[in-house]
Amino acid sequence: MNKKASISLLITILILLSSIIIPMTFTKKETVSSTLNVYTSSSDESDTDEMKGLWVSFISLDMTGTDRKYETFKSKFNEIIEKAKEYKYNTLIVQIRPFSDALYNSDYYPWSHILSGTQGVSPGYDALEYMCNASHKENLKLHAWINPYRIKTAQTPEILSEDNIYKTNPDICIETNSGIYLNPAKEKSRELIIEGVKEIVSKYDVDGIQFDDYFYPPDITDEDHEDYNTYKKSTSDFINTENWRKANVNILIAEVYKTIKAVNKNIVFGISPQGNIQNNNEISADIESWCKYIGYADYICPQLYFSIDNPALRFEECLRQWSELSYHNSIKVYIGLGAYKAGTDADNGTWQNRNDILATELELLRKYSFDGFIIYDYNALLSESAQAELKNLKSII
């Protein structure tokens, strides 16, 4: 990014935040003794507490093949809790809005097909309410995992409900070969996402909100050219398409953070970008700004889902790259570990060379002074091929 573009991008965010974002930066190998925050976190989580998280995707919550009754859902989630405790995890990151739909009673999004079988049809219970209560009863934290922009992939959901945003307001959506998404350039898209987050943190006892790595679709070409042309006509000091898209995402991220803290400053906001730093450019994820400047996120969790001997990019090399980024001094950085690959032929078969890869990766991220890990995902705990890896990992948690 050239200097002019960088300045324009930062000014855009500063104006929209209506506050000053102050960089207090360091690398993971350094320490900082003082802080100046726009928002001060007063979470009861101490700096010495290690995140030991477990992602629970919508696939693990899918009620297909069951009677879809509330008691059956409770039993399914109780099993997830028991497995998490067995493996010594302390936080569940549960996917509660996968396709601009909801596993909870929402005023903004239709019910998810994951529960009832048909998008827009109530299952007769509030899954998120139960998951919060059940998790806290067992001393587990719960972060609500959201796909902010995604509406539909090629085949999922098969049918969108009549109250889905793509049906009610298609003008704020974009469609590519990979699926349908809310258009990050549209103010109404941002308003919908922000109000949806506000609804969750206001109504439910969640400990955090997490966005995953679905931002701009990687296969986008010129589907948003009209929006970009409108933007160019509004200023003589315009930035290029790549930086404009990043700015659109940054506006959302900053406003979501601000909204959460206005409701409850103890609720954390996290983002889980792709592990390969360069790949984030393809989805317009401005990870450098999110890490460096206060006002975007409380934690970042890059998805380092590859083995220590992955020929394309070794785990420790990628870990080192993340350790050398500039961070503001109140952010936490967790590392996503790909347990779903354990014992498989992924990464050119390197997961089959040994059974202590995950344990070694945990030792490495501790060596580099990261703040914890999150396992992808719950289904790996049920996989026979992953058991040796998970047993060795458990021994050092």
Domains of the chain: 3-394 (3.20.20.80)
Rounded to 10 deg, the angle between the 3-17 and 241-263 helix axes is 30
What is the residue whose two structure tokens read 């984030």?
280
Rounded to 10 deg, the angle between the 127-137 and 70-86 helix axes is 40
Tell if the pTM clears 0.85, that is, is over it. yes
Report residue 396 as tokens. 């050092």
Length reported for the chain: 397
- What is residue 28's predicted lDDT score, i.e. its pLDDT? 54
- What is residue 48's predicted lDDT score, i.e. its pLDDT? 57
Report residue 284 as tokens. 């317009």
Q: Is the dihedral of CA 184, 209, 100, 56 positive or negative?
A: positive
Terminal alpha carbon distance of the chain: 40
E strand map for the chain: 25-26, 51-56, 91-97, 141-146, 150-153, 173-176, 179-182, 208-211, 268-271, 299-300, 303-304, 327-328, 332-333, 335-337, 372-375
User: 10-residue block means of pLDDT along the chain (397 residues)?
Assistant: 48 43 47 30 53 98 98 98 98 98 98 98 98 98 98 94 97 97 98 98 98 96 97 95 98 98 98 97 97 98 97 96 97 98 97 97 98 98 97 97
- What is residue 154's predicted lDDT score, i.e. its pLDDT? 86
- What is residue 49's predicted lDDT score, i.e. its pLDDT? 86
Contact present, 210 and 267 (Cβ < 8 Å):
no
Compute the distance between CA of residue 382 and CA of residue 348 in angstroms, rounded to an integer: 23
Contact present, 358 and 342 (Cβ < 8 Å):
yes
Tell me the chain's radius of gyration from C-alpha atoms.
Answer: 21
Rounded (5°) CA angle 104-290-169: 45
79 contact partners, CB below 8 Å, separation of at least 6: none
Ramachandran category for residue 271: left, alpha or beta (phi over 0 → left; psi -120 to 50 → alpha): beta
Contact present, 54 and 84 (Cβ < 8 Å):
yes
Pick from 150, 169, 102: nearest CA to 283: 150
